[in-house]
Structure 1
Amino acid sequence: MADRRPHRLTLAFGPEQAPRHVIDVIDIVYAEPAQGGLLRLGRLVFGYRETPALSGASAKVLEREARFCKALAATLVRAHLLVGWTRGHEGLEAFALERRCASEAEGAKLMLVEADVVIMGIERSLAKLRYSPGAVSQLELFLSAPCDQACRFCVYPYLDPGHPALGRSPGLLEWAAQVFAELDARPGPSAVQLSGPDVLRDPRLGALLDLLARYSSLEVELLGPMTGLADPQLAEAVLGREQVVAMRTTLLSHRPEVHDALVGRAGAHADVLAAIDAALARGLCVGVNSVLTPDNAGDLTELLRLLEPWSGAGVDLQVQLYHPEALGMEPEGWRALALERLVCGPAQIRAAFAELARAPDADALLSLVSARHIAHCWLPASIRERVVEPVAEPQDNFTTPPACADCPGREGCPGLTMPAFERWGPEAASPLKSPSGAGDAALSGER
């Protein structure tokens, strides 16, 4: 029987205190009160040490402890706020947790969340942006907006009404004004992405767009269901603004009944198509997201055929697997969503892309699609390089099973989503034969 006595969990500050088995590393920005709140960089290392009494612990115990450490690290990232001290650094207040400090990235992409304003206040919620000198190529503002859908894969319908992630700040416009002014002062143009459960239903949207209109350097992209744009009056009021240049919506199937069932609202499929038409008619760039589930993965080829007539206008499809949002969704929460209804297995994903690869119009359809947040070993070798969208850094709510350590294609691969790992186990990932997949079986279930 495996030894179930706990290992000692180590939170270390700096490499000199690093635990023997490092599970996760998070860079943070912190303020040092003794020096007038001077901002500094630090690093939290999560891992475990084996005590002498547990030196012979089984691999299964170590794997369980590793998963616990990784989950703890992800929880702290989701919390956005950490107050505490570490040995040798008493009195430090750590906040704005990031896996990689954005100040190190040229043309950084940042996300600011309205709930942070509620939790931290205006000034502290701006620390992430203000500690990111230089160009910011894209800033996403995630608003706590209402939504009339209940997507099976969305966290928000399942949160308690008082959850911090749903908090709405009375100071949002003041906060946004400071954000936009800060961005405008940076070199180069910036894109501001307004997102949330359904940003079009946020009563403050008009005021936010009025603020953005003051800055010619800032372009606006809207991200969300976008079904409200089926209303011609709202479409004109929002899309008619010069600074709104792009939108990204969600379409889950070519079949209206499948899409509507997955998002929990009748008529949503028709509204998405009307929104795409409205945006293209006004010259906007349009992108489409799709989450592949057991109910719609087999529709991939026909969904691309539905979008293909718009390909000349630049419409693209980005497909991904269900992964719970980092904000506000604990493992117990996404487990309650019935993983068998949400989480595809590798065979189903390969079959969907294999069907696409065999289609007589495959070349045209493949030019429209990219696969994001899907383990590369889940994709057929013959089309892998054409559809993969590499990730630049580790993602929240993803994990890399032990087999991934020996994979020559691990760079740029997201690994498995945590729900997929929970549903299918570590055996769901296996190493590629080469970084490019050369020598892999083309369209079979083998890799």
Structure 2
Amino acid sequence: MIPLRIKVDANADEPFVVRLRSFEGSVAGDIPIALDARDVVLERVSDAAEYRGEGGCIRVHGIDPSQIDGDVLLVNPHRGSADRLVRASSPHNTFLVTERCDQLCVMCSQPPKAHHVDLFAHFEAAALLAPEGATIGISGGEPTLYKEELLNFLVQTMGKRTDLRFHILTNGQHFDELDMPMMRSLERERIVWGVPLYCRSPEVHDEIVGKQGAHARLVETLGFLCRAGAQIELRTVLMKRNAPGLTALARFITSTLPFIQTWAIMQLESIGYARQNWQRLFHDSSAEFDGVGRALDLVRSRGIEAQLYNFPLCTVPASYRHLAPPTISDWKRAYLDECRDCTIKDGCGGFFEWHPKKHGYAKLGAQS
């Protein structure tokens, strides 16, 4: 698994953001690349890779400099570590802005915590150092618990970097009409809002997220986002509890939410609460795909894009595989022994690193 936290030494009192540059990375042909004040350049490699810049020196341990060239780090000198906020070679970069949340989803992969540390200033610094044309994810917890800070971050960052795009996950519980002017001031084509809706039934949705009234509030928010001109990616994690209602949800989407850009049906990730509840939550779509297929057919027949996220291709009927892009982030993606001789592996997103080997998909195997 690709490490997102690495060991570093730094002579500083407070956390800070830097971008790593190797000797080769600081030159394009014969023309030196202009360095930012936050850049540190590789000087030598001994027992550690030593970088130096305007802010001083840092030493990076346990990873080859070629694997982190161009990466943007949030260095915590007291902890002796750094988080790779932006990996230059990866399209999968996400800022975890908080671990607090006001819902308690039965399958949550990032169980909420009570504390919060405001890192928005560091996230802005990191975003400004991201590669050209990057898309940055914003996740939690629930980012809109800090809505004012989040919207200000977007305004500032997008104003300074007109090439950046953002994908923001939110449970859709905290927007109100006072937010409309700022939402409309953003370049809306550069932001996708990923919003979860798990069932047409308010009772089932509220049961899944552990919050009474969440469904009704979410539907209001979806209308708000529509009026704001936002791009909406509606997300539905597939589980035993909501699988029987997929067709009803598809009808609700086509009749009430036709303004969404994408409906993503997502396979379960066996981590956090989902791992604890796996046996009662996991819906084996490799053995029971018909309901998923009917729901996809219905929304697509009405002109709404639909996709399958986190579905290994061999678990999906051939006629639907073009709807299953490789969505599992590279740092947590793995392949099984059964994948070794698969002829469609190159286009497959594989499995989560922590996918259970003994109670996963019933129909699994290499394609030839």
TM (norm. structure 1) is: 0.59
Aligned to 1:201: 145
Equivalent-residue separation in structure 2 for 1:147 and 1:381 (angstroms): 38
Equivalent-residue separation in structure 1 for 2:246 and 2:215 (angstroms): 15
Equivalent-residue separation in structure 2 for 1:366 and 1:103 (angstroms): 42
How far residue 414 of structure 1 moved from its aligned partner, in angstroms, is 2.9
Change (3 A) 1:391 1:408: farther
How far residue 429 of structure 1 moved from its aligned partner, in angstroms, is 1.6
Q: Which residue among 191, 204, 221 is the counterpart of 1:275? A: 221
Change (3 A) 1:280 1:180: same
Q: Do the aligned partners of 1:111 and 1:139 also contact (CA within 8 Å) in 2?
A: no
Match of 2:100, as an amino acid? P
Q: Where in structure 2 are the equivalents of 1:135-284 lying within 5 Å?
A: 140-144=94-98, 146-157=100-111, 168-169=117-118, 172-183=119-130, 187=132, 189-202=133-146, 204-212=149-157, 214-215=159-160, 217=162, 218-229=164-175, 231-233=176-178, 235-236=179-180, 238-244=182-188, 245-284=191-230
Aligned to 2:365: 430
Q: Where in structure 2 are the equivalents of 1:348-387 lying within 5 Å?
A: 349-356=288-295, 361=298, 363-364=300-301, 367-385=304-322, 387=323
Bigger Rg over Cα: 1
Change (3 A) 1:121 1:255: farther
Segments of 5+ residues of structure 2 without an aligned counterpart are: 11-18, 24-44, 50-58
Q: Which residue among 132, 152, 155 is the counterpart of 2:88? A: 132
Equivalent-residue separation in structure 1 for 2:304 and 2:223 (angstroms): 20
Equivalent-residue separation in structure 2 for 1:123 and 1:216 (angstroms): 31
Worse overlay, 119-128 or 267-276: 119-128
Equivalent-residue separation in structure 2 for 1:399 and 1:137 (angstroms): 17
Q: Do the aligned partners of 1:96 and 1:128 also contact (CA within 8 Å) in 2?
A: no
Match of 1:147, as an amino acid? C
Residue 117 of structure 2 aligns to a residue whose secondary structure is coil
Change (3 A) 1:198 1:29: closer
Equivalent-residue separation in structure 1 for 2:63 and 2:303 (angstroms): 37
Aligned length: 325
Aligned to 1:421: 356
How far residue 305 of structure 1 moved from its aligned partner, in angstroms, is 2.2
Change (3 A) 1:348 1:293: farther
Give CA deviations for 1:390-446 in whole Å, capped at 9, x if unaligned: 3587451x54332222222222223344665345257652223x4xxxxxxxxxxxx
Change (3 A) 1:211 1:402: same
Identical aligned residues as a percent: 17
How far residue 343 of structure 1 moved from its aligned partner, in angstroms, is 1.6
Aligned to 1:19: none
Match of 1:368, as an amino acid? E
Equivalent-residue separation in structure 2 for 1:38 and 1:221 (angstroms): 25
Change (3 A) 1:388 1:120: farther
Residue 424 of structure 1 aligns to a residue whose secondary structure is coil
Quick one: higher RCO (CA 8 Å, sep 6+), 1 or 2? Answer: 2
How far residue 382 of structure 1 moved from its aligned partner, in angstroms, is 2.8
Change (3 A) 1:318 1:283: same
How far residue 173 of structure 1 moved from its aligned partner, in angstroms, is 4.1
How far residue 123 of structure 1 moved from its aligned partner, in angstroms, is 12
Equivalent-residue separation in structure 1 for 2:355 and 2:257 (angstroms): 32
Aligned to 1:300: 246
Change (3 A) 1:111 1:197: farther
Residue 347 of structure 2 aligns to a residue whose secondary structure is coil
Aligned to 2:40: none
Residue 206 of structure 2 aligns to a residue whose secondary structure is helix
Equivalent-residue separation in structure 1 for 2:153 and 2:107 (angstroms): 28
Equivalent-residue separation in structure 1 for 2:4 and 2:203 (angstroms): 45
Change (3 A) 1:90 1:388: same
TM (norm. structure 2) is: 0.70
Equivalent-residue separation in structure 2 for 1:208 and 1:369 (angstroms): 30
* Alignment partner of 1:344 is 2:288: no
Change (3 A) 1:196 1:27: closer
How far residue 292 of structure 1 moved from its aligned partner, in angstroms, is 0.5
Equivalent-residue separation in structure 1 for 2:270 and 2:199 (angstroms): 20
Give CA deviations for 1:104-145 in whole Å, capped at 9, x if unaligned: 9xxxxx998xxx66x55799757654x739xx9785322015
Give CA deviations for 1:181-226 in whole Å, capped at 9, x if unaligned: 434xx64x55554322111111633542453364261555432212
